[in-house]
């Protein structure tokens, strides 16, 4: 790389690859690369964005072309997957020479990029944004050796809370209590784009407040699916498999990413049932149990207590085991969330 100015710093290699579907994280990583390479002002003249239909030769020509008004140039190709898509008659490591075809061909494009790495432009940084990336190629091994291939992992339930609190402060200048963040994740799931979208709405709703409140989350986010989920759970507790399955299907039709929220709500419900059984064993009254577990409204409290008496510990443990199996199956490649939860509904209604 060329000599860094006071406002810039060198990066590890002339080519970076960002891999993953998380658009929020991709933008964050790109912003960091752009700031490091182009400087604090991130001069837009030095930033070139190319789309999916640009040939590799043209991309590399752009990298080699000296800018007239900017000492450095960052060239972004987003998405870059088409450049490395393997044709049906081409194996992943099939190498072609330049006379073998047109701009396409994964092997040819990798060859061109490797040749560019042998003699890169010192004032250019090429960033390739891909949803998938083949780790078995020579190109990957060469870039990975310089730590220039970054796989952008999605959030997990464990990491989502801390990210959400930081995001609220950095992007929206709002405090977000940890308990409120956890509730938002419980409702939406650990998806950066969806969480950020909810944060934007909540920040606007709490415009004149220093923090996003639990009440705001319940008002703007909680109501959207919560009542439908509790209606499904009520049918589940009553052993009404037909109604529970219909409500479950309606939730998925309304939101294809509702699975995490449904599972979280059902886990919460089963925990209430287990606690109610424990308190019944201690001979506490229904009113005392409802107060202790904050069971509301009244009909929901009555449903939980009725189920606790009917299931006892053996039934509640069986339901918990079935839900754990339904939750783990998609995470271990043994099924999709929606059919796994449908099976769970049928099994629980038979207890």
175 is written with which tokens? 């405090």
Do 130 and 195 reside in the same domain of the chain?
A: no
Does pLDDT of 107 surpass 80? yes
Domain assignment of residue 277, yes or no? yes
Domain assignment of residue 19, yes or no? yes
- Residue keyed to tokens 């494009």: 109
What distance in Å separates the CA atoms of residue 284 and residue 93, rounded to the nearest whole number?
70
Domain assignment of residue 1, yes or no? no
Would you say 120 and 61 are in contact if contact means Cβ atoms under 8 Å apart? no
> If you average pLDDT over residues 55-82, what whole number do you get?
92
Do 169 and 134 reside in the same domain of the chain?
A: no
Please report the pLDDT score of residue 42 as a whole number.
Answer: 57
Does pLDDT of 10 surpass 80? no
Domain count, the chain: 3
Q: What is the DSSP string of 208-219?
A: TSSB--HHHHII
Which of 130, 151, 172 is at the close of a domain?
A: 151
Do 108 and 120 reside in the same domain of the chain?
A: yes
Does pLDDT of 74 surpass 80? yes
Do 327 and 248 reside in the same domain of the chain?
A: yes
Does pLDDT of 4 surpass 80? no
CATH number reported for the structural domain that contains residue 170 in this entry: 1.10.8
> If you average pLDDT over residues 52-77, what whole number do you get?
91
CATH number reported for the structural domain that contains residue 100 in this entry: 3.40.50.300
Do 337 and 249 reside in the same domain of the chain?
A: yes
What share of the chain has pLDDT > 90, as a percent? 63
Mean pLDDT of the chain: 87
Do 162 and 147 reside in the same domain of the chain?
A: no
Does pLDDT of 103 surpass 50? no
Do 51 and 134 reside in the same domain of the chain?
A: yes
Please report the pLDDT score of residue 224 as a whole number.
Answer: 62
Do 110 and 183 reside in the same domain of the chain?
A: no
Q: Which domain holds residue 334?
A: 225-349
What distance in Å separates the CA atoms of residue 68 and residue 79, rounded to the nearest whole number?
27
User: Tens of pLDDT along 13-29?
Assistant: 899 999 998 889 999 89
Domain assignment of residue 38, yes or no? yes
> If you average pLDDT over residues 115-124, what whole number do you get?
94
Does pLDDT of 171 surpass 70? yes
CATH number reported for the structural domain that contains residue 290 in this entry: 1.20.272.10
150 is written with which tokens? 């970054």
pTM above 0.75, yes or no: no
């Amino acid at each position: 790389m060329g000599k860094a100015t006071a406002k810039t710093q060198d990066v590890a290699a002339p080519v970076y690859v960002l891999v993953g579907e998380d658009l929020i994280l991709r933008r964050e990583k790109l912003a960091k690369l752009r700031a490091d390479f182009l400087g604090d002002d991130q001069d837009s003249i030095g930033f070139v964005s190319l789309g999916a239909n640009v040939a590799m030769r043209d991309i590399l020509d752009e990298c080699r072309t000296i800018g007239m008004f900017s000492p450095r140039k960052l060239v972004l190709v987003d998405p870059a997957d088409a450049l490395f898509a393997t044709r049906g008659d081409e194996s992943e490591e099939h190498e072609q020479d330049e006379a073998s075809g047109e701009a396409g061909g994964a092997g040819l494009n990798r060859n061109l990029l490797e040749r560019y790495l042998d003699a890169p432009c010192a004032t250019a940084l090429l960033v390739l944004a891909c949803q998938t990336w083949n780790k078995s190629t020579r190109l990957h091994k060469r870039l990975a050796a310089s730590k220039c291939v970054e796989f952008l992992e999605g959030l997990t339930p464990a990491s989502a809370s801390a990210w959400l609190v930081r995001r609220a402060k950095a992007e929206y200048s709002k405090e977000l209590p940890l308990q409120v963040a956890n509730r938002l994740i419980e409702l939406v799931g650990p998806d950066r784009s969806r969480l950020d979208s909810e944060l934007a709405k909540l920040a606007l709703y709490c415009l004149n407040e220093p923090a996003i409140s639990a009440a705001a989350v319940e008002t703007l986010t909680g109501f959207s699916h919560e009542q439908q989920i509790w209606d499904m759970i009520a049918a589940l507790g009553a052993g009404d498999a037909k109604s529970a399955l219909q409500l479950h299907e309606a939730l998925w039709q309304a939101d294809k990413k509702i699975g995490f929220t449904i599972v979280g709500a059902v886990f919460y419900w089963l925990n209430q049932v287990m606690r109610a059984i424990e308190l019944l064993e201690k001979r506490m009254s229904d009113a005392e149990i409802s107060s202790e577990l904050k069971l509301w409204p009244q009909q929901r409290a009555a449903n939980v207590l009725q189920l606790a008496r009917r299931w006892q510990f053996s039934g509640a443990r069986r339901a918990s085991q079935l839900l754990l199996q339904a939750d783990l199956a998609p995470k271990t490649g043994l099924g999709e969330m929606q059919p796994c939860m449908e099976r769970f509904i049928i099994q629980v209604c038979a207890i």
